[in-house]
Amino acid sequence: MKKRILGKSGLEVSALGLGCMGMSFSYGPPKDKQEMIALLRVAVERGVTFFDTAEVYGPFTNEALVGEALAPLRDQVVIATKFGFDTSVDPRGMKGAGPVLNSRPEHIREVAEASLKRLRTDVIDLFYQHRVDPDVPIEEVAGAVKELIREGKVKHFGLSEAGIQTIRRAHAVQPVAAVQNEYSLWFRRPEEGLLQTLEELGIGLVPYSPLGKGFLTGKMDASTTFDTTDFRSTLPRFTPEALQANQELVDLLGRIAVEKNATPAQIALAWLLAQKQWIVPIPGTTKLERLDENIGAVALELTRVDLGAIEKAAAQITVQGARYPDKLEELTGR
């Protein structure tokens, strides 16, 4: 597996990470624990060194799973986790007013201490603010993480779905190693100023949902249905009408995949990897065959001509449907 460095931080990780959320949370019922532990360990054997979790996934169960699976391999891996939600309320925001944020410095410290225990480690490699809390100045958040770094409990600071000015303000207090935002061929907002800012500041980008929550794999169509425990059942972009309207993008990936003897998912990931050397996507999976398929994208070379053809064709396609309900979209870009 090729390696990449997230910005100027010196944090070296595998070119493709593994998003662990779906093993415990959001995509239907939690998967079998022993099967997931085995999958996580196989990922390390395959060269994956970058694993993404969060206290809110479960809550707590995903961190515990990752901690148990990776404890025997701890010196070989980089573990990223997140703070910023009040986990005493429904974290999915599927009920009532949506998720409640809490990035007060004392809470950040409590989360760090609890995450260290669940992850069975003495240091968190990358600690992200999961969503920007408008009630807590970002300078205070960055200062709290700076203290944890000084104490040796955290190595690197990250932000997720933060706005450009927030990133600049945080970075001035404690250098930000990575920003985790959604980015893929069907969600390209990071190209509207974020990528340029990260390049200027020397910050890495960790795209989550790089396969469009499964849509870009080509395994869905307008007839696909989702269980009520599946987060996608609440997303405007996954209504039958939106899936039908967006099929054109998957068809494009499919055509290129045939030419390259690859899969649509591999083309989508290779496209992301080709955008910048400091981009490290974290596709999630619960299946070994999908893990191997995703890893195969790292060796797939898209030429300038290939990228130009994808760009030209994608420019003719307008993606339909919002990515989140309003309550969740409001939490992004602050």
- Cα(266)–Cα(320) distance, integer angstroms: 23
Q: Which residues contact 254 (CB under 8 A, 6 or more apart)?
A: 218, 264
The pLDDT value recorded for residue 92 is 57
Report the candidate in 127, 160, 164 with the shortest Cα–Cα distance to residue 144.
127
Nearest by Cα to 239 from 152, 113, 142, 323? 323
**Domains of the chain by range and CATH?**
3-215+276-300 (3.20.20.100)
With beta carbons less than 8 A apart as the criterion, state whether 10 and 57 touch. Answer: no
Per-residue three-class SS string for 198-219:
HHHHCCEEEEECCCHHHHHHCC
> Of these residues, 57, 128, 183, 208, which one is catalytic?
57
Is 128 in the active site?
no
| pLDDT of amino acid 99 | 84
Confidence of residue 283 (pLDDT cuts 50, 70, 90): very high
To the question of pTM greater than 0.95 for the whole model, the response is: yes
pLDDT for res 8: 96
Average pLDDT, the chain: 95
Q: Is the pLDDT score of 103 beyond 60? A: yes
Report, as an integer, the average pLDDT of 96-118.
Answer: 92
Q: How confident is residue 97, by pLDDT bands cut at 50, 70 and 90?
A: low
In the predicted model, is pLDDT for residue 94 greater than 50? no
